[in-house]
Amino acid sequence: MFHRIIRLAILPLLAACATNDDLKAPPVDLGDFVLGHNVAVADKVQKVPISREATPAEWEAAMEKAIADRFGRYEGNRIYNIGISVDAYALAPPGIPVVAAPKSVLVITANVWDDAKGEKLNAEGKQFTIFENLDGENVIGTGLTKTREQQMESLAINGARAVEKWFLENPEWFGLPSARSASGKEPAKTDPAAPAVGAPAKDAK
């Protein structure tokens, strides 16, 4: 009974967790983009202490689905390949929710290739730290209210959303005016990137 009361009390706090509701709207403009290879690699993933378990295969499946759901909607005329490395994760375990309870987090590195040219468009892999909600400010962990599969799905959805935002910051990759020429200003610098994942094929990790 106590745990049921706790769940009911904290459900409003979890309303901001990731969903794919934005996919019901038309996709944002990515120029000539159409998704080619969609490969996630998690063979070197590291689990943060105090976390539920998840296998590399589960992470690869979750990320590939999230990428396919978000980027498979585009119908451009130029193929782009996306590679994702799942670097690290923590899935909040069940327990009594308290302030500073463990939170779920995912670290990924993304790369994108122009298929026709056989060239990687980003000089170095772009690393993202992903939380279950958009601002990372969960008051509590979700271990009490979500299964690990639900946590992984939320993290993967937000990971794909972060990759999309990164693409929008680099429109010239997709045949659109650059951010600088469109605004007349120098584009904001991004955070230092992590090492590249490599070519988007699982047999070439």
Higher model confidence: residue 197 or residue 91?
91
* 36-81 confidence digits (pLDDT tens): 999 999 999 999 988 999 999 999 999 999 999 999 999 999 999 9
CA 181 to chain CA centroid, nearest Å? 28
The number of C-alpha atoms within 13 Å of 52 and in the hemisphere containing its C-beta is: 23
Tell me which residue range forms the domain holding 76. Answer: 2-178+191-204
pLDDT of the residue at 8: 34
Query: Is residue 104 in a domain?
Result: yes
**pTM score:** 0.76
Query: Is residue 185 in a domain?
Result: no
Query: Is residue 69 in a domain?
Result: yes
Confidence of residue 109 (pLDDT cuts 50, 70, 90): very high
Query: Is residue 20 in a domain?
Result: yes
